[in-house]
Structure 1
């Protein structure tokens, strides 16, 4: 049941294989192990996808695909989670990771002006980059590990619940 639920919301394998941004790893996309739905593969796919989503770098999908291959994670899930950082969510996510990095580096965060412009952002980017990178890496690691642990725990809880129901059903019929 959990597998069917997950499969319903994951992207189609053919749609992923047709993506031009992933043409460098096209041979990798044919690996059937990257499409399996197991507790381990889903948890690792969650970790990789969320980790890559929080990195303020180009090529997040390529890195997520390589990470899914390396950790034997579920490739479609890892690629889908990268899209959590989209043009609507990116400013908020990277502002939070910047604030976390500034806190970790013990530097005062830059105050936003009344009107944020591209020129203001370009001028401040060099000074903000260390805090943004450190904050993004730390947040990505923490969220990736938490996602992996929670996915494994939820999966286990779900399986135990199914077993308990089966046991109760057998007891009632005997």
Structure 2
């Protein structure tokens, strides 16, 4: 079941290979394992994508793509998973990461008003930066691992259910005779 759902939402790998941004990876994109969808590649890609989703950098997709290649996990899924943090979800996710950092460091929560300019970002790194960056790192590791193991368990569960369904279908003619 996860394979069918994931395949429905992922774009065609030929279209992805033609993207100008991915041209920097050259012939590395010709590895079939980057486009194959199985339990190992899906769980690794999901974990990798979630790991980079919590990085507060503007080039998260490039990082996910760059590491999907040496880890040989599904490249489109790792890049797509990064979009869990999008312009609508970033504020609550990164605020939650900041709260995690505050809790770990034992600091009081500081009140701040976000401003979308470079001066505010530089000034804020001194005050809220350490707690925010630590919280982002902790959340990235936690959710990356949770995504990896969660997808792995979900995949195994769906395969087990499919096997059970097939076994019941094979056994159905024999149970009717009895």
Distance change (3 Å), C-alpha of 1:45 and 1:171 = same
CA, structure 1 residues 118+34, in 2 after alignment: closer, same or farther (shift >3 Å)? closer
Question: Which residue number corresponds to residue 167 of structure 2?
Answer: 167
Q: What is the root-mean-square deviation in Å for CA atoms of aligned residues?
A: 1.9
Other structure's SS at 1:57 match: coil
Superposed counterparts of 1:129-168, under 5 Å: 129-168=129-168
Mean alpha-carbon deviation: is it higher for 104-113 or for 127-136?
A: 104-113
TM-score by length of 1: 0.89
Match of 1:15 in 2: 15
Select the structure of larger CA radius of gyration: 2
Asked if 1:117 is matched to 2:108, the reply is: no
Closer/same/farther in 2, CA of residues 63 and 167 from structure 1, 3 Å limit: same
Unaligned segments of structure 1, at least 5 residues: none
TM-score after normalising by structure 2: 0.87
How far residue 11 of structure 1 moved from its aligned partner, in angstroms, is 2.2
Which structure's relative contact order is higher, taking Cα pairs within 8 Å and 6+ residues apart?
Answer: 2
The equivalent residue for 1:67 is: 67
Instruction: Select between 153-162 and 38-47 the one with higher mean Cα deviation.
Output: 153-162
Instruction: Answer whether contact 1:65 1:79 (CA < 8 A) is retained.
Output: yes
SS of 1:83's partner is: helix
Consecutive unaligned residues in structure 2, runs of 5 or more: none
2:76 aligns to what? 76
**CA shift at 1:2, angstroms?**
4.1
Superposed CA offset, 1:133-171 (max 9, x none): 111111011001111111111111111111111111111
Query: 1:11–1:80: 8 Å Cα contact kept in structure 2?
Result: no
1:172 and 1:118, CA in 2 relative to 1: closer, same or farther beyond 3 A?
A: closer
Larger deviation: 2-11 or 135-144? 2-11
SS in 1 for 2:141: helix
CA contact (8 A) 2:68 2:75 kept: yes
Q: Contact 1:69–1:75 at 8 Å: present in 2 too?
A: yes
Q: For each residue in 1:106-133, what CA deviation from the matched residue of structure 2 results, as whole angstroms up to 9, or x when unmatched? A: 11121135xx434684332332221121
Distance 2:159 2:44 in 1: 18
1:96 is matched with which residue?
Answer: 96
Distance 1:4 1:105, change over 3 A: same
